Amino acid sequence: MIEHRPSDRLGRFQNGWLNARYHFSFADWRDPARMGWGALRVWNDDEIAPKSGFGPHPHADMEIITYVRQGAISHQDSLGHRGRTAAGDVQVMSAGAGITHAEVNVEDETTTLFQIWIEPDRRGGPPAWGARQFPKADPGQGFQVLASGRPGDEGALPIRADARVLGATLEPGAAATYPLGPGRHAYLVLARGEAEVNGLKLGPRDGAAVRDEAEIRLSALTETEVVLVDSR
């Protein structure tokens, strides 16, 4: 089963500094049919204006993954972590028992990013933050694990959930596959480009919800960048 989630049919929010698309119910936008997908709870596609952003606010019991597509986002939290995550990088914040953080675009250009929330397998625990580079160097490597709570995924940013966040970049005509285990849920979004997923054509920033498929087959029609979440 694959459900197409076209970019122009997502939830929307816009104010003076934020232009956001919501793949799942978030803030004041509610769709009872889109409350999550497996352990995936939030996937926001944000455009943040220069010199603006999200001021200090609290979180608890959520794994928050940010993939920056353009520009950069600067992080600061109540544990003293500070970092600048630039285009092509990924950051993970495990909120644990509670943390307050701010995410601000201090750049002179608009920042675009995906913010992904995954529900943890267990509540509480110490909060944590980390970042790593998105795999852009070799477009032929296929899907690479960026963040994971599954055994054997050494080198990935750790999350406290039976889930993986993966990324791939493909040149036109290239393909990549990903096995989806029984009972698993996959959700993928094209950061850019056009591709077919098991024969379904997706455009830039479109999403696809997948389950009950043995394998995800991604075929790039143009230069394509994709992010995928696999969860229970």
Q: Which of 78, 102, 133 corresponds to the end of one domain? A: 133
121 and 16, same structural domain? yes
144 and 112, same structural domain? no
188 falls in which pLDDT band (50, 70, 90)?
A: very high
- Residue 137, pLDDT above cutoff 60: no
How big, in percent rounded to 5, are the helix, strand and coil portions of the chain? 5, 55, 40
pLDDT (0 to 100) of residue 194: 98
16 falls in which pLDDT band (50, 70, 90)?
A: very high
Question: In this structure, are residues 64 and 92 in contact, taking their beta carbons and an 8 Å threshold?
Answer: yes
Question: In this structure, are residues 224 and 188 in contact, taking their beta carbons and an 8 Å threshold?
Answer: no
What's the chain's average pLDDT?
A: 96
- For residue 163, give the CATH number of its domain: 2.60.120.10
Mean pLDDT of 161-171: 96
pLDDT (0 to 100) of residue 5: 98
- Strand 144-148 to strand 157-158: parallel, antiparallel, or no bridges (unpaired)? parallel
Residue-wise pLDDT tens digits, 28-75 = 999 999 999 999 999 999 999 999 999 999 999 999 999 999 999 999
Q: Terminus-to-terminus CA distance in the chain, angstroms? A: 16
68 and 171, same structural domain? no
- Residue 185, pLDDT above cutoff 90: yes
Question: Exposure pattern of 16-33 as b/e (b: 16+ CB <10 Å)?
Answer: eebbbbbbbbbeeeeeee
Residue-wise pLDDT tens digits, 191-220 = 999 999 999 999 999 999 999 999 999 999
Q: Which of 95, 113, 133 corresponds to the end of one domain? A: 133
For the CA atoms of 118, 100, 44, 189, what is the dihedral angle to 10 degrees? -50
pLDDT (0 to 100) of residue 232: 95
Q: What total of structural domains would you count in the chain?
A: 2
- How many angstroms separate the CA atoms of 188 and 206, rounded? 8
pLDDT (0 to 100) of residue 135: 58
- Residue 182, pLDDT above cutoff 90: yes
In a domain, 3, yes or no: no
Residue 125's domain comprises 11-133
In a domain, 167, yes or no: yes
Q: Which of 115, 133, 151 corresponds to the end of one domain? A: 133
- Is the Cα dihedral 34, 57, 118, 21 positive or negative? positive
pLDDT (0 to 100) of residue 138: 62
Concatenate the DSSP letters of all residues of 167-227 into one string. Answer: EEEE-TT-EEEEE--TT-EEEEEEEES-EEETTEEE-TT-EEEEES-SEEEEEESSSEEEE
pLDDT (0 to 100) of residue 88: 87
- Return the structure tokens found at 185: 């849920």
Q: pTM (2 decimals)?
A: 0.96
- Residue 139, pLDDT above cutoff 80: no
216 and 165, same structural domain? yes
pLDDT (0 to 100) of residue 97: 98
